[in-house]
Structure 1
Amino acid sequence: MQFKKIALLVAILSGLSACSTSTNVTKLPQQSETATTINQTDDSAASLFAKAKSKSGITKIQLLYVARDAAIEEKNWLMLEQISLAMGSKASVDHVQNKLYVAYARKELKQYESALAILHTLEGRLNTPEHQAWYEYLLGSIYASQQLPKKALVEFFKAADIAQQNNLNVAGLDNEIWRALQQLSSYALERFDSGSVLQRGWVTLAKYQQIYLGSSIELDQAMNNWRRRFANHPAAALLPKDLQGAVALEPYDVRKLAVLIPQSGASERLGTALKNGFLAATDSSTIEEVFFIDEMSSEQDILAQLAKANADFVIGPLLKSNVEKLVDNPDFSLYPTLFLNARESVTPRTNEQYFFALNPEHEVEQAMKHFLAKAYKKPMLLAPASASGKRLIEHFVEGWKHYSETAPEIGYYTNSENMAEVITDLLEVDASKARTNVIKNLFRKEVKSETRSRRDIDVVYILGDAMETRLLKPYLDVNVSTFANKIPLYASSRSYSKQIDVTDKGDLEGLYFTEQPWMLPGAIERNAIRETYQALWPEQADLEQRLFAMAYDATNLISELRQLAWLSGKSFEGLTGQLSIRDNADIVRSLSWAQYRNKQIRLVSLDEQPPLPLFMQKEEAQSTSLIR
């Protein structure tokens, strides 16, 4: 089987690529010289630890030191923790250093809360540069583990400055710095381009990679310029000595594209919508030939057609059952592929398999982050009592509990008839009416009253479709007490229908919702695409419109995939949203925010920067109280 293979040229900065901390760290601060008096053996950390427990005095201490080094070499973090805890009872041990080892072991075991708590006990006791550097490094690593690269870099750069000033080697620090920098946008990098020469050198390197990646000559020139400006910078040792032009992550050069979509059966209409999007995108691309293959065909037939087409790249299939079938096929894995659905705990066979889905979970994450950024304490979630509704609610709750101890209120409705009952029950309106009736029965004269709703719910998130949202919002409006502040209402893209919205915006005033830019008026600059689409398919349903945009983006993503996978801080502005890649394979969408205002849809910009995870909030609060 022949097809064009594009060489993955990643020589530049390859030493800085995403490798785990654990593979680089070999030692914490300089250990006692007594450890060197025992010869290293082939014994495992566990056997060395067992021998140490049978000894006493200086021999016991020496064996514990050797066992500790062996545990790090083996990446046996549970054993490292046990050895370090045993050493903590010895008077001759550097106890600050030993606690750093325990914190390091627990960080690697993903016991981040415990690791952070240990580090906070060391504040005010870091009396040597070694202790200070490793404290900052471990603290930064914990921030990095929580996807907080900006906060991590603050600590990493502190550690790097201390290490440079005191001629120390903090193993693994350079790789951690580089990985965190790659998660930043160009705007965030600009904000870090200050401070010490060491910090500016790292940031400039990351900026050059973002700007010139994919352009060999320009990146080569930029690297030479960087070397001149930042001579003797620690990152220089990680750059290849001889670039020879292999300095760029070359994009896929696709001339023959194979597209797997449903062209028969119940999903044929979905395939037709996708096909329109592919044709629109390839019309102005360098792709010379497009081969459409029915994904409902057998695996053998699909592979035969791919071989005949001599495809450079494959997009599809769409249906999850077909994705799961083909992703495991070794012959199919020879083709670089962008699947049009999410993976279910599948590890791609190669680093040339990507997954693109219109995943509603991404919207739920966006809404949750915004609620946290706004400091909402008690959200109320409303969803249909369907499998998908429950799945999205569970996804929200799972993310929310990492930031808040207050659980959201959840309401599932089964149909339009019980929506009002669900809302009045959650808002405790019925209880208020019951109290009013008791008072009325006590007096003969008419009692003026106003129903009160509960006051702790401060935001409502609706996960229903367009018709359900139009039914739910009036119920919410009339059941919120006039004595309470107006509760802000949010919804997902399921609540928006371009078709329904043309004739009936309903009483949706004030409602915020997420939606892909393609569906929103004025959200994309490429209005000519929308105008052409409307002229050709004026009556297309919402799903078909979204699939058109998905296919259009999938085609244009091909040339961006390698760079997006390499740089987690890089994104692509598509019709379906701001697209980036997570875990080297999964395409994540950031959608646009919009609001119904004065019977119009207005684009809005909302904060999505969540607070620290809950365990970090607790530690910071305790640390602040101790300082006071």
Structure 2
Amino acid sequence: MRLKLVSLLIILSGLSACSTTEKPTKTTENLSSANSTTQIQATDAQSMYQIALNRQGADKIQLLYSARDAAITEQSWPLLEQVCIELERTPSVDQVQNKLYIAFAQKQQNKNTLALEILASLDSQLTQPEHFAWHQYLTASIYASQNLPKDAMPYFFRASETASKNNLTIPQLNKGLWENLKQLSSYALERFNRGSVVQQGWVNLALYHLVYLGAPVELDQAINNWQRRYPTHPAIDVLPKKAAALIAIAPLDIERLVVLIPQSGANERLGDALKAGILGALDSSPIQETIFIDEMLSPSEITAKLSEIKPNFVIGPLLKGNIDKLVANQALQSYPTLHLNSFDGERTSTQHYFFALNPEHEVQQALEHFLAMGYQKPMLLAPNNGAGQRLVEYFNIQWQRYSETKPEVGLYDDKKDMPTTITSLLEVDKSKERISTVKSLFKQEVESETRSRRDIDVIYILGDAMETRLLKPYLDVNVSTFAERIPLYASSKSHSKQIDKTDKGDLDGLYFTELPWMLSDQISKQALRQQYNTLWPDQADISQRLFAMAYDSVAILSDITQLSMIPGKQFGGLTGQLSITSDGQINRHLNWAQYKNKQISAVQLKTHAPIPLFMQTASDQMGSE
């Protein structure tokens, strides 16, 4: 928190330095001793602001400047916005600079649409290079904060070009630009490899890091060549530390691996599935020695064993409770570790990673597909329990980032509750009531057919395999024949290789996400799958999924350092396309499949990164001007 505060102060002090309007100077001529005493006593931003409202002239402006600085120190962004709005009413204040402060305050409050509107309104007033550079930097920062690196880069480049040309210092600019640039693929970088010398210098440096990552000698030589070509480039500021870190990246050389999995107690069966996956991957791994330890031992016992073994890397544990215990005990602090579950606490080492079969990965993937298809009103069906409610909440929060509509949600308690939940959500019950009323008005028989609501354009099922097979027929019979069939989607929970052996028919047309390992025609390692089926022909679905996760946990080790350093870089595994986020979480992109003609077929579905609402609004407004 202290470092974050210092960075903010440095950034905002740079913005103040770009002002061309001098602040009033404190002198005995323009400030009475009483006023000076008041200022000394008022040390917090709110007090200074309140006092300033009762002052006039230079005294008021000076107090507002002090309140502004204090608001930044206190990170009181709503107050900073208020102070700047008050300053806006004073003609002698640098209005462009002040607008930039307001935009910054709004950005810090996640008022991205308003911040972009202010920045857009300044386009014709940016006559000074200082203003233009800060304007471009703030715009880039907004896009970067929303994980939109491609949109941010043109603004970062223009800020860097202007700062370099005019010898301006914008703290955090080079660092922010570099962090954002590293998120781009080689294809995206090539598209940016044009324009000014400054822009091409940044892009070429990023391309070198991508091409030669893991090859220290070649990377060192490439960077030396780059420095000779761009001797005064602003990237020099970030180069030494970053280059040293990246040059040091080489594939891990693991001689001794420790695996922490349940080998006793109620979860021993899960441990057996994991052990099979680990051993399967070790057949083609250069790791020389692997030791399995029961994660159900006490933290002190595990610590003692690790001290004796001195492993190069640790995989596990599986259970969240055991991860919490070992983190609290710091038993794994000194060892690079790939935990086999997620962790809710703070990551204590950059060498610690977390690999879990999180259903949230699938929910995000489905949501991005819905938005790419232009669906406006999704309906979610989920069990009324903790897991179902958590996934529905996750979907709702993410959906509201991109759409103004609110999803319909149906939570069912059990199979008896399903028909009522569906007919109520689709408003089929109301249609039946209207039909009953009409029939009561006529003696002769009235031909009728129920109608379902028309605004629902996609349905997402978050139930398990048995629940999905019960829900699908209810949906089929309750959607009006007058309306187009509503596309049905589900997560991997809906798919069971065991149940599919005898029953696929009821799910015809359903799309779902799934691990490649669980889809017979999409497995890259067919020989491994055949061997697995021979050894364990009737394994439960959970055991098969854990086998795939354990296999990937070993296979990914040779690339894990590079994956953690390059956002977006992927590893093709049995559990999906794997990448590593900045906080060490392994993210998965699964395969799509569809039930069709009593078979499961691979499908390629349209998907791309969605555009947040604040960007949609800004684009509409700029297009209408």
Note whether the superposition's TM-score is higher than 0.5. yes
Partner Cα distance (1:361, 1:328) in 2? 26
Query: Equivalent residue for 1:159?
Result: 159
Equivalent of 2:19 in 31, 51, 54: 31
Which position in structure 2 is the counterpart of 1:89?
Answer: 89
Residue matched to 2:451: 452
**Residue in 1 aligned with 2:544?**
545
Amino acid at match of 1:451: T
Residues 27 and 69 in structure 1, CA contact (< 8 A), matched pair in contact too: no
Letter of the 1:34 partner, please give it: E
1-structure distance, mates of 2:197, 2:65? 36
| 1:230, distance to aligned residue in structure 2 (A) | 3.6
The letter for the 1-side match of 2:14 is K
C-alpha spacing 1:382/1:243, structure 2 compared with 1 (3 Å): closer
Question: In the alignment, residue 615 of structure 1 is paired with which amino acid?
Answer: F
For residue 15 of structure 1, what is the aligned residue in structure 2? none
* Deviating more after overlay: 589-598 vs 437-446: 437-446
Per the alignment, residue 599 of structure 2 pairs with 600
1:146-202 CA deviation, whole Å, 9 max, x = no partner? 111111113222333444455544332222221111222333333333333322222
How big is the shift at 1:249?
A: 2.1
Residue in structure 1 matched with residue 328 of structure 2 by the alignment: 328
Distance verdict in 2 for CA 1:48–1:405, change over 3 Å: closer
Contact 2:9/2:73, CA 8 A, preserved across alignment: no
Q: Which moved more, 1:440-449 or 1:348-357?
A: 440-449
Instruction: String of CA shifts for 1:229-281, please: whole Å, max 9, x gaps.
Output: 44432213432299789823244322111111111111100000000111111
Q: 1:462 — aligned with what?
A: 461
Partner of 1:479: 478
* CA–CA separation in structure 1 for the residues paired with 2:133 and 2:143: 16
| Counterpart position of 2:30 | none
Larger mean CA deviation between 176-185 and 71-80 belongs to: 71-80
SS at match of 1:411: strand
Counterpart contact for 1:45–1:71, Cα < 8 Å: no
CA distance in 2 between counterparts of 1:22 and 1:331 reads 38
Q: C-alpha separation between the residues in 1 aligned to 2:107 and 2:63?
A: 24
User: What residue number does 1:561 align with?
Assistant: 560
Q: Which amino acid aligns with 1:609?
A: H
Q: 1:341 and 1:91 mapped to 2: Cα distance?
A: 58
> Aligned in 2, Cα 1:66/1:384: closer, same or farther, shift over 3 Å?
closer
1:566 touches 1:584 (CA, 8 Å); kept in 2? no
Taking structure 1 as reference, are residues 34 and 63 closer, same or farther at Cα in structure 2, changes over 3 Å only? farther
Structure-1 separation of matches of 2:436 and 2:243: 83
What TM-score comes out, normalization by structure 1 length?
0.89
For 2:144 and 2:70, locate their aligned partners in 1 and report how far apart those are by CA, in whole Å: 26
* Structure 2 unaligned regions, length at least 5: 1-5, 28-39
Q: Return the offset for 1:454.
A: 0.4
The amino acid that maps onto 2:149 is P
Match of 2:257 in 1: 257
* Separation in 1, partners of 2:186, 2:92: 49
After the TM superposition, which residues 324-473 of structure 1 pair with which residues of structure 2 at under 5 Å, given as runs?
324-344=324-344, 346-473=345-472
Name the structure 1 match of 2:35: none
Question: How far 1:476 sits from its partner (Å)?
Answer: 1.1
Give the aligned partner of residue 32 of structure 2: none
1:25 CA displacement: 5.6
The equivalent residue for 1:130 is: 130
Aligned residue in 1 for 2:294: 294
Report the Cα offset of residue 67 of structure 1: 6.7
Question: Partner residue of 1:8?
Answer: none
Alignment match, 2:34: none
Higher RCO, 1 vs 2 (CA within 8 Å, ≥6 residues apart): 1
User: 1:143 Cα shift?
Assistant: 1.1
92-101 vs 583-592, which moves further: 583-592
Cα separation, partners in 2 of 1:192 and 1:271, compared to 1, 3 Å: same
For 1:494 and 1:429, locate their aligned partners in 2 and report how far apart those are by CA, in whole Å: 27
- After superposition, give the CA deviation of every residue in 1:526-577 in whole Å (9 maximum; x if it has no partner): 2222122122211111110110111111112223232222222222211111
**Partner in structure 2 of residue 306 of structure 1:** 306
Comparing 413-422 with 19-28, greater Cα deviation is found at 19-28
Structure 2 residue aligned with 1:504:
503
Q: Secondary structure at the match of 1:525?
A: coil
SS of residue paired to 2:512: strand
CA contact (8 A) 1:45 1:79 kept: no
Q: Return the offset for 1:89.
A: 2.6
SS of 2:118's equivalent in the other structure is helix
Partner SS state of residue 617, structure 1: helix
What is the CA distance between 1:50 and its match in structure 2? Answer: 3.7
Query: Greater shift after overlay, 457-466 or 99-108?
Result: 99-108
Instruction: Pick closer, same or farther for the CA change 1:405–1:78 going to 2, 3 Å.
Output: closer
The two structures have a TM-score, normalised by structure 2, of 0.89
Query: For residue 188 of structure 1, what is the aligned residue in structure 2?
Result: 188
| 1:223-302 equivalence runs, <5 A | 223-240=223-240, 247-302=247-302
1:177 alignment counterpart: 177
Distance in 1 (alpha carbons) for counterparts of 2:469 and 2:99: 57
Match of 2:492 in 1: 493
Task: Give, in whole Å, the separation in 2 of the partners of 1:527 and 1:122.
Answer: 59
User: Who is 1:207 aligned against?
Assistant: 207
Tell me, which stretches of 5 or more residues in structure 1 are unaligned? 1-18
Q: Give the Cα separation in 1 of the matches to 2:273 and 2:241.
A: 50
Structure 2 CA distance for aligned equivalents of residues 440 and 70 of structure 1: 73
Q: Secondary structure at the match of 1:593?
A: strand
Q: Cα offset for 1:334?
A: 1.7
Aligned residues: CA RMSD = 3.0
1: CA distance between counterparts of 2:43 and 2:506?
68
Change (3 A) 1:349 1:143: same
Q: What is the one-letter code of the residue matched to 1:570?
A: K
Deviates more, 1:479-488 or 1:523-532: 523-532
Paired residue type of 1:608: T
Deviates more, 1:228-237 or 1:142-151: 228-237
1:470–1:506 Cα contact (<8 Å) kept:
no
User: How has the CA–CA distance of structure 1 residues 442 and 63 changed in structure 2, closer, same or farther, with 3 Å as cutoff?
Assistant: closer
Taking a change above 3 Å as real, the CA distance of residues 215 and 45 of structure 1, as seen in their structure-2 partners, is farther
Change (3 A) 1:175 1:370: same
Q: Which residue of the partner structure matches residue 573 of structure 1?
A: 572
One-letter identity of the residue aligned with 1:578: Q
